[in-house]
Amino acid sequence: MTGGPDLPSGETVTAEGGAVPARPADRYGTAGKGKPSKRWRRWLFVAVALVVSGAIGWIYYLNLGQTPIEAERVGFEERPGDAMQVTLNVTRDDDSKPGVCVVRVRDKSGAESGRREVLVPAGAGHSRVNTVVKSIGAPVTADVFGCSYSIPRYLSTP
């Protein structure tokens, strides 16, 4: 209960019947003012969460979206001396730039047993490339690890 006929303005009555003096407004402010509503804080949290989610989505799209150069293994054939011939189809968005693809072979346990970087010369947008990859054991399968336009200096032609 606040105020009343027997109490000065701003004082409240406790359950025991005693009066509690009002807080000085110039020191603590008036009751109910200056405190942001919980609804405003919720909307701020939702807005920040949406901005952060959008930024993360955009970064994933840039890094994991469609690659400018990619290769698909078309076939592989075992060769003598623990080697395997691998045939790739390389597709790229800019056929005027050379690229590099990393091809690897795996042994019976699934572990990588050989790897080779293959230079894909500038040319048609779709290229077929053959390479032979040496292995440290008997290879059973081959795959493409990835492709890039960033060609190491030792692979580029002078």
> For 100-142, what is each residue's pLDDT tens digit?
999 999 999 999 999 999 998 887 767 888 999 999 989 999 9
Q: Tell me: pLDDT of 20 over 70.
A: no
pLDDT of res. 17: 63
Q: Tell me: pLDDT of 60 over 60.
A: yes
What percent of the chain stands above pLDDT 70? 76
Tokens of 35: 């405190």
Burial 31-64 (b: 16+ CB within 10 A, else e): eeeeeeeeeeeeeeeeeeeeeeeeeeeeeeeeee
pTM: predicted TM-score of the whole model, two decimal places = 0.58
pLDDT of res. 32: 58
Q: Could you tell me the sign of the dihedral formed by the alpha carbons of 3, 4, 8, 11, in that order?
A: negative
Range from 12-16, 40-44, 120-124 carrying the lowest mean pLDDT? 12-16
Q: Tell me: pLDDT of 99 over 90.
A: no
pLDDT of res. 137: 87
Confidence of residue 47 (pLDDT cuts 50, 70, 90): very high
* 105/70 Cα distance (integer angstroms): 18
pLDDT of res. 34: 56
